[in-house]
């Protein structure tokens, strides 16, 4: 019968071995072997000698890079004369086939100053809750930019511009903080 054994040192599993015959272990002053057949033990698990139980360590979360810049909307407008614009520029309500225009700046997160070194072009995803996505190109020059999007006919519903969506295709060094923008398209 095949058996699985874990080599434990300082209450951590450092090796796992399989034997089809009765194993013979040399004495070791750096640890000991434990039969772990049918216990689902992995290298790195912790062993409790009092209970004989193994626990899986929680994986270390991957460090998230510190985002150095943020998007600050400075103006939000629409050609819809009946459109509603939140004074904090967090949401806008428009009719389908209306255009939304946002002017924005890229600020340093460290001191909230305009980052005139930030320039580039990228795709801005605007995503509906059902997964539909509209993309538009944004060009930023010396930390300033603007974008206009005409919401197509049939685009009724809530559309979102989020930090996660913006950063999904940006390189780590270009990622941006963003509080988000909700675009409600109504009849």
Are residues 157 and 94 part of one domain?
yes
pLDDT digits (tens, 9 = 90+) for 121-139: 999 999 998 989 999 999 9
Is 75 inside any structural domain?
yes
Neighbour-count burial of 174, counting CB atoms closer than 10 A to its CB (0-12 exposed, 13-18 middle, 19+ buried): middle
Are residues 125 and 81 part of one domain?
yes
Query: Per-residue pLDDT averaged across 57-84, rounded?
Result: 90
Are residues 83 and 27 part of one domain?
no
Number of domains present in the structure of the chain = 2
Structural domain that includes position 17: 3-55
Say what the pLDDT of residue 91 is.
97
Which of 47-61, 114-128, 131-145, 148-162 bottoms out in mean pLDDT, i.e. has the lowest? 47-61
Query: Per-residue pLDDT averaged across 30-38, rounded?
Result: 84
- Mean per-residue pLDDT of the chain: 91
Cα 94 to chain centroid distance, Å, stands at 29
Are residues 173 and 83 part of one domain?
yes
Is 63 inside any structural domain?
no
């Amino acid at each position: 019968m095949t058996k699985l054994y874990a080599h434990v040192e300082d209450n951590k599993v450092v090796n796992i071995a399989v034997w089809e015959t009765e194993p013979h272990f040399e004495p070791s002053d750096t640890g000991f072997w434990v039969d772990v057949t049918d216990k689902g033990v992995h290298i790195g698990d912790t062993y409790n000698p009092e209970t004989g139980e193994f626990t899986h360590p929680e994986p270390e979360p991957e460090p998230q890079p510190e985002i150095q810049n943020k998007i600050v909307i400075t103006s939000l407008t629409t050609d819809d004369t009946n459109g509603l614009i939140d004074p904090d520029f967090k949401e806008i309500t428009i009719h389908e086939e209306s255009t939304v225009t946002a002017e924005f700046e890229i600020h340093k997160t460290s001191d909230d100053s305009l980052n005139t070194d930030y320039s580039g072009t990228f795709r801005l995803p605007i995503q509906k809750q059902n997964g539909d996505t509209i993309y538009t190109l944004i060009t930023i020059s010396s930390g300033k930019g603007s974008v206009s999007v005409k919401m197509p006919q049939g685009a009724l519903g809530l559309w979102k511009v989020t930090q996660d969506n913006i950063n999904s295709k940006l390189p780590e060094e270009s990622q941006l903080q963003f509080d988000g923008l909700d675009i409600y398209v109504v009849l």
